[in-house]
Structure 1
Amino acid sequence: MARNSVIAGRDISEAALIGYGGFKTAQLAQLTLSPLRPNGIGSEPCQDIIVKRFYIPSKKADQLPAVNDPKDDPKRSLAKRFPRLSVPDELEKLYREANILYWAKSLLQLTYDFIDRAISKAATLPPFDIPRLCFIDAGLLLAVKPNENNAKSSGTANVQTPYLAEELIPNSKSFMKYVHNSEPYPLPEPDEPGYDLAQFLCFTQHIQYVKTGGLAYITDYQGSGALLTDPQILTHPSVNAGKDLFGEGNLVIGVKLFAREHICNAFCRWPGFKLDPPASVDIDF
């Protein structure tokens, strides 16, 4: 069913900019869908969300003029710091981001299905707890210009601004990256917060790699509490006949080196999971 939506504060000012990376900005907004969804993002009116957009990286954003002149137009000033792509180009990139989240959720569900089946069949319970994590709820939102001629149009002709709307992570201060997208081992050191969770996430990579026959696994794990966001999926070049299904972070070298660089931990070695060490897959560059 099609839904109408309202994003409060769409010409988002500097005050609503909560962060930016090398390619994307993240801004605080409010969403109201009509009708409301039964659960997840858009299930309540005036719901706090995060909207993300791509920008064209040139200089470092913190070296560009800040939005601090009350006489200046906040939307225009923000655009100076973060010049946007064309609508078709940005929409394609945001679609890829949403697609990554969609498939990351599926791969993580496959992982937990494997874990739960193994534990249910094991003679004894594992000597550790299984963290229960999930990826944030998200979806594409399009600000569409009304067609004055009341004629049907196709493509992105009437789209003014695309957004990736994401569930707000409440404990943003504890946000951290657990596993980098090019290295299948924990980023935190053993004596640092988040190390045990990073170990578990590396174990999930082992499961995904083995269960897909070395074709795909989630990486770039990051988030706060039980919520994860902004993943990457690394795939073997044979997936989709070599045409990249995911984002620019899909590094073939990661798949090639996974079996060599992955270090099995206590999760991997528990006999109840019956996990063999990951075997190398052939990749020609």
Structure 2
Amino acid sequence: MSFGNTELVTVQVSMCVPSGTKYKVIGDVSIAIANINVRIGIRDLHEIAYAYLLPLWLCHSRNFHLSITNTQLCNELHVEMLPRVPDIDAIKEKCYTLKGRARVKTLVTNHAHHVFLHISPRFAEEAEFCHTMYNEKDLPALTDQFVEIDAGTSKSRTRTRTQALTRTTHTQRTRRRTAQKVLTVVETIEIDDSSSEEEPRPSKRQRWANSDQETECLESQPIVGLSADLSESTVDVPPDSMVLDQEIVGRLPFPVSGLVSIPMPQAIQRPKSDAIRDALSKQRVDRKVTLHFQAFVLPKYSWDDLLENPTVCLDLQKNFTPVNTSVTFNPKQKTEQGSFKMCLTDCQTSEVVLGCSHRVCLKRCYHRNEQTGELMNFDSGHQISELSRELNCLLWGKVMLGLVYQFIQRRDVELGTTPSFPIPHLRFVNAALVIGKRTDGEQSVYMMEEIVGGAHGWSFYKYICNGTASPLIDMGTDQAAVEKNRCARFLSFVQHVQFVETDGLAYTSDFQGDGNLLTDPQILTKPELGTNLFARGNVAFDSLFTTHVCAENEFCKHYGPSKEGF
């Protein structure tokens, strides 16, 4: 509920029961609610009125349940107020008056504006009946049987006790006779000879009964069941609640819909230490921030495009037009940490920038303080340089993976057949360099990627490290492990094909991801091309010759890439 208008008024809300052409206000269920906006809508006013009156109603009716659907919001003329479109200005026209000769509209603040919550007469009857049955007078505590204190004798005896409901009107007398038939029980009463004679406590003030009439109330212990043999009752009732026996409920003169469990007082117990620790540890308030970014999205290039413009990713700000977006995330959330980058996984964009989802992750590079070993973020200029190199690896990984699928299509035509086993259809995530400004004026620089994780019931998995060309094997026996191992063997085949297609100069490594998505590749190049190419993970190029095994790889055996150079 949000309004530009800050004019506030007081609204008096009362609960009443329609009775023909008249309306009976329930006197103690009324409250003045301050600071109500004059532009408030009918639905919001109804919910606020219900929330404020509910505790008063429960106190008045002794916990007879009241739902908001049992109430109607009415104006001072007792006409139901129905929501409009748009749902605003429920009371505005009553909050102003015209003053002076100029007839200036002025807010009325010297008295409350009255509205009513109506409940139906039938609902009020149910509440009154149950209130009278439970709360007219206290009895001594009940245990496994009913106990009655009799001032005339202290001996044990068997007698019939009738719990009477004293009424003054014809309707009340009818209900009293019905309740007498329903609540008649046979009890065995055991009283110790040493017990002293006591006079019953005087009856409490009753809302719906005369003050000089005495009735009995069952309220101290749970009523497990009202039957001839109380010791054999099988009704399962929580030990801290009070409910009516189901047989009695079925024999009431009308259906009772509002009965609820009434909490009973219990001894205070010291909570367990684990519960205290858990409750205290949850008191941190995670504050999310929304930053506005310019996103330089990684382009879709072919092999020929990349050979024509091989350094396009090393200066994305110069080569591409940014997309404006906002990202909401908690900067204090737990980060996932890799060898060179850390990742915030719980982030959401205002527009779909990558793939088909608003969910993204934000990554940035870090370094360690040589003296303390603490993880340190690079400054914005250095961060742009490092992340541009990572994005460059990602672009080359995308294009070189495309070379492999082109090779597969070409070989399928040459062989005139397709393999009997499935070919994994993998791709690298879409990504962008995002640059924005923090509230302190400093730049925030991240690499934004599609979120990876949770596909096919897998978890994030590394298929091949950049230090070796040997695929990592999942030793599980379930279907997920079978699929992971097939992908790992396929990516080993990918390295072989890329080595051939680039004339033995480069291939992709450090394959990792989930499902059909891959992320964070490393491009390994032949050492004679130079050092410090691509990113910091460009190591162990020669491991392909010693650790790749075609004989154990169904993809290599079927498609037969050249082994020249191995």
**Which range, TM-score by smaller chain?**
0.7 to 0.9
Give the match's secondary structure for 2:377: coil
What's 2:460 paired with? 175
**In structure 2, C-alpha distance between the alignment counterparts of 1:238 and 1:159, rounded to whole Å:** 41
Mapped pair 1:26 → 2:309: no
Contact 1:209 1:278 in 2 (8 A): no
What is the alpha-carbon distance in structure 1 between the residues aligned to residue 453 and residue 542 of structure 2? 36
Superposition deviation, residue 189 in structure 1? 4.9
SS at match of 1:120: helix
| 8 Å contact from structure 2 (residues 453, 513) kept in 1 | no
Match of 1:116 among 400, 409, 425: 409
1:241-252 paired onto structure 2 within 5 Å: 242-251=530-539
In structure 2, stretches of 5+ residues that fail to align are 1-320
Q: Which moved more, 1:118-127 or 1:194-203?
A: 118-127
Any stretches of 5+ residues in structure 1 without a counterpart? Answer: 65-80, 147-157, 281-285
Q: How far did residue 134 of structure 1 move? A: 0.4
Match of 1:49 among 342, 360, 370: 360
Is residue 107–residue 208 contact of structure 1 (8 Å, CA) maintained in 2? yes
1:88 Cα deviation from its structure 2 partner: 1.7
Q: Is the contact made by 1:142 and 1:159 (CA closer than 8 Å) also made in structure 2?
A: no
Q: Deviations over 1:225-255 (max 9, x none)?
A: 000111111011344xx2533111001xx32
Counterpart in the other structure of 1:152: none
In structure 2, which of residues 514, 532, 541 is the aligned counterpart of residue 224 of structure 1?
514
Instruction: Note the 1:91-130 alignment, pairs <5 A.
Output: 91-130=384-423
- Aligned CA distance change for structure 1 residues 278 and 189 (closer, same or farther; 3 Å): farther
Take 1:83 and 1:124, find their aligned partners in 2: how far apart are those partners? 54
Match of 1:199 among 476, 489, 495: 489
Distance 1:191 1:119, change over 3 A: farther
| Distance in 2 separating the partners of 1:196 and 1:145 | 45
d(CA) in 2 for partners of 1:102, 1:113: 17
Cα distance change, pair 170–22 in 1 and its aligned pair in 2 (3 A)? closer
Shift of 1:257: 3.5
| 1:163 counterpart (431, 439, 446) | 446
Displacement after TM superposition at 1:161 (Å): 1.6
Matched-pair contact (CA < 8 Å) for 1:259–1:278: no
1:12 counterpart = 2:331: yes
Matched, 1:185 2:470: yes
- The change in CA–CA distance for 1:191 and 1:266 in structure 2 (over 3 A counts) is farther
* Secondary structure of 2:541 counterpart: helix
Deviation at 1:56, TM superposition (A): 2.3
Other structure's SS at 2:466 match: coil
Indicate conservation of the 8 Å contact 1:29/1:51, yes or no: yes
Partner amino acid for 2:472? L
Report the 3-state secondary structure (helix = DSSP H, G, I; strand = E; otherwise coil) of the residue aligned with 1:102: helix
Asked whether the equivalents of residues 438 and 444 of structure 2 are also in contact (C-alpha less than 8 Å), the reply is: no
Change (3 A) 1:82 1:29: farther
Structure 2: how far apart are the matches of 1:191 and 1:4?
Answer: 45
- Give per-residue Cα distances to partners, 1:38-97, cap 9 Å, x unaligned: xx34x66xx1110001222249x9xx9xxxxxxxxxxxxxxxx74211222221111111
Letter in 2 for 1:244: N
What residue in structure 2 maps to residue 73 of structure 1? none
Larger relative CO (CA 8 A, sep 6+): 1 or 2? 1
Kept in 2: contact 1:200–1:267 (CA 8 A): yes
Deviation at residue 120 of structure 1 after TM alignment: 2.6
Q: Distance in 2 between matches of 1:165 and 1:7?
A: 10
**Is the CA contact 1:5–1:31 (under 8 Å) kept in the aligned structure 2?**
yes
Asked if the contact 1:23/1:57 (under 8 Å) is kept, the reply is no
1:128/1:25 CA distance change after superposition, 3 Å:
same
Match of 1:71 in 2: none
1:204-225 CA distance string (max 9 Å, x none): 0000001111111010111100
Q: 2:410 aligns to what SS in structure 1? A: helix
Deviation string 1:98-144 (CA, Å, 9 cap, x unpaired) is 11101100000011111112113313321211100000110100114
2:37 matched residue in structure 1:
none
Count of residues in Structure 1 that have an aligned counterpart in Structure 2: 234
Residues 206 and 278 in structure 1, CA contact (< 8 A), matched pair in contact too: no
Report the alpha carbon displacement of residue 170 of structure 1 after superposing the two structures with TM.
4.1
Show CA shifts across 1:169-226 (max 9, x none).
2417511101011111111156662222111110000000011111110101111000
CA 1:159–1:209 in 2, change beyond 3 Å: closer, same or farther? farther
- Looking at structure 2, the residues matched to 98 and 237 of structure 1 have their Cα atoms a distance apart, in angstroms, of 21
The alignment-based identity, stated in percent, is: 33
Counterparts of 1:112 and 1:125, CA distance in 2:
13
Check the 8 A contact 1:53/1:164 in 2, yes or no: yes
Higher-Rg structure is 2
One-letter amino acid of the counterpart of residue 363, structure 2: K
